[in-house]
Amino acid sequence: MFVVNWWKKLYWNVKISGSKNACLPLLVASLLVRWKVVLKNVPYIWDVVTMLEIMWTLWVQYNFLDDTLFLDTSKLSLDNFQASRIKEIRASILLLGPILQFFNKLSIPQPWGCSIWKRPIDWHLEWLKTIWYDYKYTDDCMIEITWTKTSWDKVINAWFSVTSTENLVLANVLRNWKTIIKLAAIEPHVMSLINFLKLAWADIYVDYDHTIIIEWVGSLNNNLWYEVISDYIESGTFMIIWALLSREYIDIENARVDDLYAFIEKMREAWVKIDITWNDSVRVRRSTSLKSVSLQTNIFPWFPTDLQSPFSILLTQADWVSRIHEILFESRLNFLVEIEKVKWHIAILNPHEALIFWKTNFKSWETLTSWDLRAWVAMVILALLIEWETKITNVNYIKRGYSNFLEKIRLLGWDVVEE
Ligand code: EPU
């Protein structure tokens, strides 16, 4: 892919698409309904398509009409299940909960995702023991999970892990016992899953201290309609692009302002001008100068790890030394090596901390790359900053998680060509 210079701005606004990380658990939750589910505002991205293809091997029928997805999960069966495809996306670990609800035995491989370190699933496997499943690794590197006995009310820790919390909710919502999930993640996509299940008559209560209480219900309501929330990570990404690169202002619609409170506060601390306008929209203006800041990622509602890499590119243009502390994933600072390629001054202190030094001019004809969706977006922003043609490889990463991203960039005025 090549990114060329400023071209001509066609649009003054950008509309944020449905969220990948909200949509994937909803697809899986539809398995629990065992009937028809309609999802609106579904992003047409590779991770969603891959999850649907995996679910198709579970006899799930689906049909897209624009951004509306019609699902029929009534014929759920393991007869043709291609468990090997679980390797392809990390979120496929969510299939465990619903499948084990209806079938007593399952073999799966270890799921993979972006290269942001080893991405363990130990917590997912440990809670299986809590609800009386046994698991073992077999010689062909599969994880074999078997039901051992029925159980009673229980308290399980999710350690603030997003997919562990989602998996625990999905695995326990139809069980005939009471489940208390402590140390639960409450990211917007976790809450969207809970709201979907509540709409289907699940009995779930979320307490202010990260506790989720699930009471047993016999079955879920069928014929559900539900709208996928828009993607607060995409929204934050466009705020960064505009703060760095625009010549005027931009309006961002479906911005998920409430989910981005910590992020917007950090942007303002860095002297970016963001006005919250109307109906969940923001107006972002280019900043003539940017101030360096110290940043730490953390669980919601703190600064999201998925916006750390694009925000780091913004900090390359700040006036002094910025410090980044990425506490969740060990390899999420690796992309900074790409910035070094274009002669930027950074210091990686350890796998979790780095310093970014003040503004100089980028000088390079380097080809950039990334093995992590969010860092790939950071490479696009870097390419837009470098004022001549830049090539970025591994273009498929962007297709995994952002709906029409390159098209939106074009409409905002940059010439982007995919080869
Ligand atoms: N962890 C473990 N053991 C486990 C599970 C997690 O040690 O069994 C650790 C992880 O290694 C990490 C921390 O817990 O250090 C938090 O990981 P979490 O489980 O919350 O991450 P995740 O559920 O695998 C989701 C998103 C990620 C996002 C993180 C953090 C989905 C499908 N993925 O991952 O999104 O970065 O939460 O908010 O929802 C992305 O979209 O690019 C992406 C990576």
Residue 268 lies in a domain: yes
197 with 252, same domain: the answer is: no
Ligand 1 atom at minimum distance from 118 CA: 11
| Rounded Cα gap, residues 209 and 186, in angstroms | 10
Name the residue range of residue 239's domain: 2-14+230-418
| Rounded Cα gap, residues 221 and 29, in angstroms | 12
DSSP β-ladder status, 36-40 and 224-227:
parallel
172 with 96, same domain: the answer is: yes
281 with 323, same domain: the answer is: yes
DSSP string over 88-141: G-GGGGGGHHHHHHH-SEEEEPPP--SSSS----HHHHHHHHHTTEEEEE-TTS
Sign of torsion, CA 298 302 307 311?
negative
Is 306 within 8 Å of 187 (Cβ atoms)? no
Each residue's pLDDT expressed in tens, for the chain with a length of 419 residues: 555 455 566 667 899 999 999 999 999 999 999 999 999 999 999 999 999 999 999 999 999 999 999 999 999 999 999 998 988 888 999 999 899 989 988 888 877 655 545 667 888 888 888 877 888 888 777 888 887 776 677 899 999 999 999 999 999 999 888 999 999 999 999 999 999 999 999 999 999 999 999 999 989 988 899 999 999 999 999 999 999 887 688 899 999 999 999 999 999 999 999 999 988 999 998 778 999 999 999 999 999 999 999 999 999 999 999 999 999 988 899 899 888 877 778 999 999 999 999 877 776 667 888 888 999 999 989 888 887 778 888 888 888 999 999 889 888 888 887 77
Task: Give residue 70's Cα distance to chain centre.
Answer: 22
Ligand 1 atom at minimum distance from 21 CA: 39
In CATH, what number is assigned to the domain containing residue 238? 3.65.10.10
Check whether the bond before 301 is cis (ω within 30° of 0): yes
Report how far ligand 1's centroid is from the alpha carbon of 163 (Å): 7
115 with 133, same domain: the answer is: yes
DSSP string over 183-234: S----HHHHHHHHHHHHTT-EEEEETTTEEEEE--S---SSEEEEPPB-HHH
Is 145 within 8 Å of 96 (Cβ atoms)? yes
Stated as kind and residue range, the H or E segment containing 147 is strand 143-147
* DSSP class of 258: G
What is the predicted pLDDT for the residue at 388? 73
> Left if phi > 0, otherwise alpha if psi is -120 to 50, otherwise beta: which for 17?
beta
| Rounded Cα gap, residues 328 and 346, in angstroms | 20
271 with 315, same domain: the answer is: yes
Residue nearest to atom 37 of ligand 1 (CA): 162
Structure tokens at 242: 């505009």
Report how far ligand 1's centroid is from the alpha carbon of 94 (Å): 12
What is the predicted pLDDT for the residue at 114? 53
Amino acid present at 291:
K
Sign of torsion, CA 70 191 312 338?
negative
379 with 333, same domain: the answer is: yes
How many domains in the chain? 2
Residue 221 lies in a domain: no
Ligand 1 atom at minimum distance from 125 CA: 8
63, HSE (Cβ side, Cα atoms, 13 Å): 4
In sequence order, the 6+-apart residues with CB closer than 8 A to the CB of 76 are: 31, 34, 58, 59, 60, 102
- Cross-strand bridge partners of residue 290: 318
202 with 308, same domain: the answer is: no
Residue nearest to atom 20 of ligand 1 (CA): 161
191 with 205, same domain: the answer is: yes
Q: Which is nearest to 340 in space by CA: 371, 324, 316, 304?
A: 316
DSSP string over 351-373: TTEEEEPPP------PEE--SSH
Report how far ligand 1's centroid is from the alpha carbon of 283 (Å): 30
Indicate whether residue 66 lines ligand 1 (CB < 6 A).
no
Ligand 1 atom at minimum distance from 305 CA: 36
- The whole-model pTM stands at 0.94
207 with 253, same domain: the answer is: no
Structure tokens at 83: 């468990």
